[in-house]
Amino acid sequence: MLKALKSIYARSEPAKAYSLLSPALILVILVMLIPLTLMLSFSFFTQTSFTEINYSFTVQRYIDFFQKNLLVSLLIKSIKISFLVTLITLLTAYPVCYYIAFYVKKNKMLWLVLLTLPFWTSYLLRVFSWKIILGTKGVINSSLINVGLLNEPLTFLMYSETAVIITLTHAWAAFALLPLYVSLDKIDFSLIEAGRDLGLSRFEVFWKITLPLSLPGIIGAILIIFIPTVGDYVTPALLGGTDGRMLSNMIQGYFGKINNIPLGAASATIMLFTVAIVTIAVSYSTKKLSQRMS
């Protein structure tokens, strides 16, 4: 009997595949699927009092969300901040990766390790160190005042959208570096030489060859930065003040102090779908754009 089972197992490719997948599958079901289903269910309920929830189905929470200008504007602001963070990260990380991929001949690994060195410390510590740099009595303000360039500290640096953007950009840069570097490093340098040989200037070669070929890395970097930063709430909570607050801080509030779990769940669901739509749109249009370019 056991022998028969063993032989069936040995011959069945799906059985082998599922047994290899099972640890991950169980984990995903436990920590992703169940919580997501719960969240989705709660978004259709009603908070009747501080402790009680009415479990009858309603879409009122979604209507509530779009009727509250604050929530909609926070959603837009979250997307805007993430978009800027993604853009700035790409613009700064791409040249660095380009340099390492094509101009560094020895010790490429060392360069990458050095670039990712700051990311060996905890995320929270890095956020706090930005507080030290950007604060009213922080490194930037006090040195500018001491040198005599300023009379009073720059207020937009701290507890603002700017602070959130700077901190998030720095916090996620390493995650953009790696996919960008990998996609650039994979490009055969003779393709770039061939472009020049066929009469194109450096700039044209970049647009027609290097950029389209590094597109997988760019899309990867966009997704890897955009998705987590939209939902980030640590940085806006610590550095954002009132100006830099994002939707995630509000959602946290609904599950905590404000105690409106269904509205929190509905907001989170809306955010989830918005992120999904934005992500799909970005990767699709980037691909289309590159096809048109070449």
Partner 1 sequence: MNSSFIQINEISKHFGSVRAVDNVSFQIHEGEFFSLLGPSGCGKTTLLRLLAGFEYPTTGNLLLDGIDITSLPPDKRPTNMVFQNYAIFPHINVEKNIQFGLRKLGLSKEQIEKRVKDVLSLVKLEGYEERFSSQLSGGQRQRVALARALVRQPKVLLLDEPLGALDKKLRDEMQLELRSLQKEIGITFVFVTHDQQEAISMSDRVAVMSEGKIQQLSAPNELYKNPQNIFVSDFIGETNFLKASTKTQDGEYINVSIENLGEFKIKNNLNISENSFDAVCSIRPEAMKIDTVKSDWDICLEGKIRQTSYLGEMTKFYVETKELEKIITVSSQHFDNQSFKNNDCFISISLEDISLLDKK
Q: Contact with partner 1 (CB under 8 A): which of 110, 125, 194, 281?
A: 194
Question: In angstroms, rounded to a whole number, what is the distance separating the alpha carbons of residues 162 and 169?
Answer: 11
What type of residue sits at position 278?
V
How many chain residues are in contact with partner 1, going by CB under 8 A? 18
Task: Rule CB under 8 A: say whether 280 interacts with partner 1.
Answer: no
Longest dimension (CA), the chain: 87
Residue closer to partner 1, measured from CB, 109 or 198: 198
Residue closer to partner 1, measured from CB, 148 or 199: 199
Answer for the pair 177, 93: CB distance below 8 angstroms, yes or no: yes
C-alpha closest to that of 134 among 170, 107, 98: 170
Cα→Cα distances 62→51, 67, 265, 267, 294, Å: 21, 9, 10, 8, 43
Any idea what DSSP says for residue 118? G
Task: Pick the piece of the chain touching partner 1 (CB under 8 A) from 103-111, 139-147, 195-203, 248-256.
Answer: 195-203
Q: Contact with partner 1 (CB under 8 A): which of 199, 242, 257, 292?
A: 199
Task: Rule CB under 8 A: say whether 212 interacts with partner 1.
Answer: yes
Task: Rule CB under 8 A: say whether 289 interacts with partner 1.
Answer: no
Residue closer to partner 1, measured from CB, 68 or 208: 208
Task: Rule CB under 8 A: say whether 203 interacts with partner 1.
Answer: no
Q: For the chain, count helices (H), then strands (E).
A: 16, 2
Question: In angstroms, rounded to a whole number, what is the distance separating the alpha carbons of residues 70 and 244?
Answer: 13
Residue closer to partner 1, measured from CB, 184 or 247: 184
Cα→Cα distances 190→10, 132, 204, 215, 218, Å: 46, 47, 15, 18, 21
Task: Rule CB under 8 A: say whether 28 interacts with partner 1.
Answer: no
Shortest Å, Cβ 178 to partner 1:
22
Task: Rule CB under 8 A: say whether 201 interacts with partner 1.
Answer: yes
Shortest Å, Cβ 190 to partner 1:
4
The footprint of partner 1 (CB under 8 A) covers: 188, 190-191, 193-201, 208-209, 212-213, 290, 294
